Structure 1
Amino acid sequence: MTATAGDGTVAKALDVLDLVAGFGHPVRFSDLLDHSPYPKATLYRLLQTLVAQRMLSFDADRSTYTMGLRLVRLAHAAWEQSALAPIARPHLDDLSAKVGETVHLAQMDHAQVLYVDKRNARDPIPMYSQAGKVGPAYCTGVGKAMLAYLPEADLPGILSQQSWHPFTAKTITSAAAMAQDLATTRARGFAFDNEEHEPGIICVAVPILSSGGAVLGALSVTSTTARTNLSALADLAPLISSIARTIGQETTDWRFPEQAVQPNRKRA
């Protein structure tokens, strides 16, 4: 997301943080400039400010920028206070032990999916997802599970931000087709990824909802067509849904604890 007119310096600085993080490795100024919407002088000034505030680190010997330790500390605090991961951790461990397949925990980040935690299968398989990575919502099980339960008024805006890139021959590539798929997801209570993001990778996913029905995230079990099928994964939906409901309730209780009502005391 790029800062728009009127967003100010803070938004531009966040754009630069996103840019540095997107490279996934130490990056030189020239590479940042090639991908930045800002003029050379503006980019340099923003980088200097971020380094001074320890949000970025600059290696003078290699002339590269990386994420700073202050940002790491803030990210850890955000993880503990905002992500579902700390609350869901024991439940992911339990689900992983029971099914033996890859387990994903995700949340919606604007119109994309943010993987916040993962448990590998007993026999691990290579795939795109990793904790901290962002992926598309329209062609992942966790993404479709969350999209299906968003407020109806919010869905068109989210769908308009999807790229509809055909990652595989089975990728859904239009908002109209996605709307039909999401209606089916709501009717049965869970979503499928039928090799829509990666060939050979399939999953079943359910939403994690608050006690009021708000989408908090999604939980999935992922495998390959080499060792299972969608029907077998669908059989796991009741177990996954039960665990998702527990995570949703515990998250609701943690975020919105009921205020104890103090009885009126009589004056002495």
Structure 2
Amino acid sequence: MRRADRLFQIIQVLRRSSKPVTADAMAAELETSKRSIYRDIATLMAQRVPIRGEAGIGYVLDGGFDMPPLMLTSDEVEAAVLGAQWVAGRGDPALARAARDLIAKIAATVPDRLRPVVLEPAVATPPAWRHEVETLDMSRVRAWIHAGRKLRLHYADEQGRETLRVIWPCLVGYRETTRLLVGWCETRADFRTFRADRVVDAEFLDDRYPGRPAVLRARWFAMMEARRAEYEARTQ
């Protein structure tokens, strides 16, 4: 790896981490020596890149620092195209359209040497699945999640039993053939997952639920992680 590329990658490593990153960790990821990392950090700091930290403890990149857009490597372009392909085939109409636009924008703005990676990618997703007809407007659901507003769902379970639920939506998830809506259910006083194709009707309420959607998502992820750990402990 050229030194200029390594300097760029060091910034990327620091930018994606919320905790101090040690020189050992960066050296391992970038396949170079710890001494080279120390020299590169010193060079970046001399160029006024806002890096804080010291040897043996770790380094962080201060907020507010950014670089010109679309300084992407070939692997990063390919990763973006692969992800956009998946969303174009499986996302709701608004997300699918945005994914196709993203691919077009990347192709129009990357250097000529990277354009074949976008237009003739070496990676591809499987053909999109044909999901069941959904009455739920997933684009509007996403907007309600961002706003932290409640939904009232008329829902039918796998046996066709129908219930009315008021939920605090926090996440839209994807399985191979279905879309899922995760939220806190006021009726059950617990998290519940709802298949989008089993929602008979939905009412988008103006009421905000307590706290932030990000906090609710963190609670759900923590619960799922605890369940996974419990399952692994039982099966060992």
Q: TM-score range by the shorter chain?
A: 0.3 to 0.5
Structure with the largest fraction of helix: 2
| TM-score of the aligned structures, taking structure 1 as reference length | 0.35
